[in-house]
């Protein structure tokens, strides 16, 4: 998982509320056995409409998505996070998220930023013309117009995202402690492999 410190660039001003995971990645895309290529199916029904924000050339390669309240509701499919990553999204800003989606996003290295609706509305406005910056170290979202919004994030999640640690990475970071435990456990059980006196 890549480290996240600062995410800066274009933000897709989507803004729709109650977007469920079937909208993020339709069910027919779930047959794939790889994560690659899911970005092509991301927001398929939305992108079918002419003039949608996802296919606007100005938003090409945008690392930030601005969404509405209750983003990622519906089924628990992790493919939704995979699809966002495959289309280049590493941060989503919204007033609220589905708990399951938020957890899946975190596990896949996507930062979810919760801000009040009025601040999201302001970022939607700025995103029409200018870039936005997210600083995870200081938990701020800023614009070229001196807007500065602070957000809260679970300290454990913040640490993992800053260090690029997924579940495997967290385990490997404890390798010395694991090795020490295994050595001690092997010593404690050494009597099982030695000679034993068996009473006649």
Nearest C-alpha neighbor of 8 from the set 130, 113, 133: 133
The more confidently predicted of residues 31 and 138 is: 138
Average pLDDT, integer, range 56-85: 95
Q: Is the pLDDT of residue 169 over 70?
A: no
Average pLDDT, integer, range 60-83: 95
- pLDDT band at residue 180, thresholds of 50, 70 and 90? confident
- pLDDT band at residue 194, thresholds of 50, 70 and 90? low
Q: Where are the alpha helices (DSSP H) in 40-78?
A: 44-47
Token couple for 35: 């994560």
Between helix 155-163 and helix 99-107 the angle, nearest 10°, is 30
The C-alpha atoms of residue 106 and residue 14 are separated, in whole angstroms, by 21
In sequence order, which residues have a C-beta less than 8 Å from that of residue 44 and are 6 or more positions away? 25, 26, 29
The C-alpha atoms of residue 115 and residue 147 are separated, in whole angstroms, by 13
pTM of the model: 0.85
Q: How many CA atoms lie within 13 A of 74 on its CB side?
A: 17
């Amino acid at each position: 998982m890549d480290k996240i410190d600062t995410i800066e660039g274009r933000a897709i001003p989507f803004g729709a509320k109650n977007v469920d995971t079937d909208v993020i990645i339709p069910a027919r895309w779930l047959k794939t056995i790889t994560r690659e290529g899911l970005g092509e199916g991301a927001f398929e029904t939305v992108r079918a409409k002419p003039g949608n924000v996802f296919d606007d050339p100005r938003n090409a390669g945008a690392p930030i998505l601005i969404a509405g309240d209750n983003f990622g509701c519906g089924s628990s499919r992790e493919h939704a996070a995979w699809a966002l990553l495959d289309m280049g999204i590493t941060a989503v800003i919204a007033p609220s998220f589905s708990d399951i989606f938020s957890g899946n996003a975190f596990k896949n290295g996507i930062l979810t930023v919760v801000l009040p609706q009025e601040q999201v509305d302001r970022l939607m406005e700025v995103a029409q013309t200018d870039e936005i910056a997210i600083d995870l170290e200081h938990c701020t979202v800023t614009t070229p117009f001196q807007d500065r919004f602070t957000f809260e994030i679970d300290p454990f999640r913040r640490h993992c995202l800053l260090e690029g640690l997924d579940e495997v990475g967290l385990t490997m970071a404890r390798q010395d402690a694991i090795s020490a435990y295994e050595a001690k456990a092997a010593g404690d059980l050494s009597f099982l492999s030695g000679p034993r006196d068996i009473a006649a």
